[in-house]
Each structure stands twice: as C-alpha cells, then as structure tokens.
Structure 1
Amino acid sequence: MNTNIESTVSEIMQRNVLTVEDDWPLNRLARFFIDHQISGAPVTDSEGNLVGVVSLTDIVRYDSMPESPATEHSTHEFYLHTLERQVTQEEMTNFHMEHESPATVRDIMTPMIFEVNENASIQEAADTMIKGHIHRLFVTREKRVFGIVTALDMLKVLRNNYGASDLARQA
C-alpha cells in the first residue's frame, strides 16, 4: 500500500488492538505484556470504555516507588519519561513482580489519553505524537478503541514515501 502524510489514519492503523482492563492485578498485566511481546496497551473499564494507557514504564515506576501513583496532573510527565528503547525478549522474561501487589492497572495507568478520529490525516497523528512525546496514539469511536497507530507505523510511512536510498541521501 502506498501511503503518504495526506493519507488518513485508517490506512495505517492496526485494527487488532490488545487492551487491558483497569481492574487487572499487576502480575497479570506483566504476564500479558510478556506473552504478547508488547510494551504498552490501552486500558478499558468494565464497559469497554477507554480510560487510560499503561506501559512497562508504569510497572517499573510503581515497583520502585509504590507511594506515587499516577495523577491527572502529572500524566504528561509520564509520557515524557518513558522507556526510550525497545525492550529485548531476554529483558522481558526477567521482568516480573517480586511480590503479589494489591495494586491494579487503574492504580498505575496514565489517565491522559491521546486519541484521534480514523479520518484524521497521518500528518495530524504525527503532530499529536510529537507534541505529546508519545509512542502510541489511539484511534477511537465513541470512547472505544478502534485502532492504534504506533511510532513504528509512522516509520513505515516514511520508508514507503522515501525509499531507503532517499533517506540515506538525506542523512
């Protein structure tokens, strides 16, 4: 598929979105990330409404500082200080909760949601991701997750628009 920045988000989004529920215990969340080899996911409530996002960074932050859960006022800082590199499979298998925590996903998730409509342009999605310093953007319909656009999806658009030789010349 030939996409460009004038294309819409619906052309590049991933439609099979893995979500987690806000009442899951942290050990279940960690196992879910490991089993699916992902580093973050949208969080839904019992009715399936999007209520936040949670990542490996949130688990690490909670495990190292359990007295400071996410608050609506500090959510932007959570996005600014996320893991900057991909976690290897070996690191993920070593990633586990040492004890059974009473905390749930709701306690550690970031309640700020960055979302776009499926008809938004790729340019608009890229602007939102850059301004929010985020790696994933949710595509929603009536507060329900319909798709997801990741930084990797954006890189694919760049690759498709500027073949490898074009990108090498610009470097």
Structure 2
Amino acid sequence: MRNRVVAAVGSAVFFVLAPGIVAGLLPWLITGWRAEPVWPPLQVLGWVVLVPSVAVLVSAFVRFVVEGFGTPAPVAPPTKLVVGGFYRYVRNPMYLCVLGAIIGQALVFGQWWVLVYAAVVSGAFYAMVHWHEEPSLTRNFGSQYETYRAAVPGWLPRLRPWQPPSSP
C-alpha cells in the first residue's frame, strides 16, 4: 500500500512537471496568453482532440501506479511492465496524448505557432523513445517487453486491444 501511495504522489508531481509544462505552460507562453479568431469548426475539432487527450493522459498516469507500481518518471520507473488500458492499443499513449493536447490547443486558440511547437515536441518524443526508453525497457523487462513491442505499435494504435500471453 505504501508503495502505491509513493507512486501516486510521484506520478502526480511528474504530471505537473512534465506534461503540465510541455502541454500546458509552454503552449500558453508561445501564444502570449491570447487567442486569435478561429473558424468555429476548427475550434470544435480542437476541443474534440484536447479533452480526450487529457483524459487518456490521466488514465495512463494512473495505470503506472496501479499496474506498474511506479511512475512514468525515469527516476522512479515501474517495477512491472505496464501493458494494460490504452497500452493494449499503442505503446506510447502518453506522448500521443501530450501531442493531442498541444494540437488541440493550437486549434482552439488559433495559434499556428503551437503547431510548429508540436512538431518539435514530436521529434523530441521520438528520439526519447528510440534512444532511451526502448533500450531501457529491453534491459529491464527483456523478452516480456520484446513480445509486447512486437505486438503493439509504438505510434499508430491497433484497432483491437492486444492480449498478453497467459503465464503458465
């Protein structure tokens, strides 16, 4: 129980520091804290992207606590490989949701420079996953991660949820 409480607190702090800054504060700083006139259907599309992105992001953070007994932060990683919830469809739902939140804000507030920022962030996310996370997960979880990686795409979600092989 204590480990879950520590993981929950750590995840909450990391949520504020990482996606809170990358998908919240920095887009607002780019916009100069102002909205531009936007074609209403684009604004609606922005909200349709933004709101579910934030909801799924919160769900993915919770999954790290309840399933992985850790946090998404590299300094306090999970002790179990997280493969449930939205991780059954795509390996990187957090990164996709952060990008969705950024793109949604660009559309809602009519700030096209935020789309440029989203492109830069997506490059940084790809590099982080490719050069740090995948090698680290392979070292920490070995064949379990390799099986998962072979079955679940990194960036384009599956249509049907992946079912992990049952343990004997």
TM-score (norm 1): 0.23
Larger relative contact order (Cα-Cα within 8 Å, sequence gap ≥ 6): 1
Instruction: Identify the structure with the greater strand proportion.
Output: 1
Higher helix proportion:
2
Q: TM-score, normalization: structure 2?
A: 0.23
